[in-house]
Amino acid sequence: MKSEGIEGCERFLSPGKGRGVRATRHFQVGDLVFACPAYSYVLTVNERGGHCEFCFTRKDGLSKCGKCKQAYYCNVECQKGDWSMHKLECSAMCSYGENWCPSETVRLVARIIVKQKFQTDLTQSERLLSLKEFESHLDKIDNEKNEMNQTDIAALHHFYSKYLDIPSNAALAELFAQVNCNGFTIEDEELSHLGSAVFPDVALMNHSCNPNVIVTYKGTVAEVRAIQKISPGEEIFNSYIDLLYSTEDRNERLKDSYFFTCDCTECTTKSKDEAKMEIRQKLSTPPEPEEVQEMVSELLEICELSLEKMGSVFVDTNVYMLHMMYQAMGVCLYMQDWDGAMKYGEKIVEPYSVHYPQYSLNVASMYLKLGRLYMGLEKRTQGVKALKKAIAIMNVAFGEDHHYIAEIKKEMEEHK
Ligand SMILES: [Zn+2]
Ligand SMILES: [Zn+2]
Ligand SMILES: [Zn+2]
């Protein structure tokens, strides 16, 4: 079973990093490096009705499954295509009713188990790395993660045993750990969560905080595009995490979720840390680390309340302020306070474009949200300006022919 590989890149042993992907030809900014169909995927419960369960197309007027009335499809073809996966859940959702609540990881793992049973050859998603080769890092998992895995295993038995030949608990522990380290979340152009998936070839890329590619999604296909020039022989790096935060924060996250410490140029030079962590000049002594930690955990729950408190220590462009303002913007959007959301968006977007790499989905989605807010508030000039900035990044990250970009251009036309 020899893999056919991918034109333009190859698997190799990256010094100090284990296996990775490197280029075998030149790539310019915006070039598609490779595309990878999902090996397995699942639409998130909250997006049911808005997206087709099978192809993830977003449109009005999808038709629902006549039996469970919870899964929605473009047409009969999509419904048929999805049945081998949907049948795991269709009657279960009917019989459990409101009590049907497996986590998204459990739903994804159930689908992987079915796929593995029937798919014995390597798939188009495994041209460089097969799912079986995924790292699990089971030996490094702490008690908390172990308990979470055990909960997932119990849920799999509870919700799926009628519809699935469930592997041994040891095999399941391995599989859940593999999915936790190698799984992806599929997001739309505003970075809203659409679902979870495994893309083995995409998972082979190592991490850098100064990545040379970005991953976006077209339906259930992951597309990897260059955001820096890449020469033959150069390693191709993706980012596994949100790059807004300081070197210390990023590495805590990498250690916790992926079990390594990053040694990229950003992590060695820490060139952006000072700006990211800037505090108010008039404070004579910097805050204690515990103080900062306390404020950071607070902002998740009571961002509106801590705004005032944090504002006396951090400048508005400090990443903790930005994080909190982002939460506050989310609250405003939820409450349909468009003016409030716009004000936060305006404060966030400039520092975002400084702190993040030149091409970043976080920056693009912020310009997009802000631009759409402006358009809705009849501020056309500002709206067009923000949307154009979003498109400039998206042309590189999504490719110029992506339907998201066509949709934004149409929105700009309609508001004329
Ligand atoms: Zn469809
Ligand atoms: Zn159904
Ligand atoms: Zn790094």
Q: Which helix (H) or strand (E) holds 214?
A: strand 213-218
The ligand minimizing its distance to the Cα of 56 is: 1
Using 50, 70 and 90 to split pLDDT, how confident is the model at 314?
confident
Give the global pTM: 0.86
| Residue 332 pLDDT level (bands cut at 50, 70, 90) | confident
User: What confidence tens digit (pLDDT) does each residue in 79-117 have?
Assistant: 999 999 999 999 999 999 999 999 999 999 999 999 999
Angle in degrees, CA 118, 6, 400, rounded to 5 = 105
Those residues with Cβ within 8 angstroms of residue 413's Cβ, 6 or more apart along the chain or in another chain:
none
Average pLDDT of 162-179? 95
Whether residue 382 has pLDDT greater than 60: yes
Give 55 Cα–ligand 1 centroid separation in angstroms: 4
Quote the distance between the C-alpha of residue 413 and its chain's center: 30
**Could you give all domains of the chain from N- to C-terminal order, each with its CATH number?**
42-184 (1.10.220.160), 247-414 (1.25.40.10)
CA of residue 161 to ligand 3 center, whole Å: 42
User: How remote is the CA of residue 262 from the centroid of ligand 3, in Å?
Assistant: 4
What is the pairing mode between strands 193-198 and 40-43? antiparallel
- Ligand having the closest approach to the CA of 63: 1
Give the closest ligand to the alpha carbon of residue 95.
2
pLDDT digits (tens, 9 = 90+) for 232-259: 999 999 999 999 999 998 999 999 999 9
Percent of the chain with pLDDT over 90: 80
pLDDT exceeds 90 at position 159: yes
Strands 221-226 vs 213-218: parallel, antiparallel or unpaired: antiparallel
CA of 82 to the centre of ligand 2 (A): 10
What is the CA(266)–ligand 3 centre distance, in A?
Answer: 5
Give whole-number Cα distances, 112 to 116, 164, 277, 346, 361, in Å: 6, 11, 42, 42, 28
Please state the φ and ψ torsions of residue 281, each to the nearest 5 degrees. -60, -35
Are 128 and 3 contacting, i.e. CB atoms less than 8 angstroms apart?
Answer: yes
Split at pLDDT 50, 70, 90, the class of 300 is very low
pLDDT, one tens digit per residue, over 30-86 is 999 999 999 999 999 999 999 999 999 999 999 999 999 999 999 999 999 999 999
Identify the nearest ligand to the CA of 79 by its number: 1
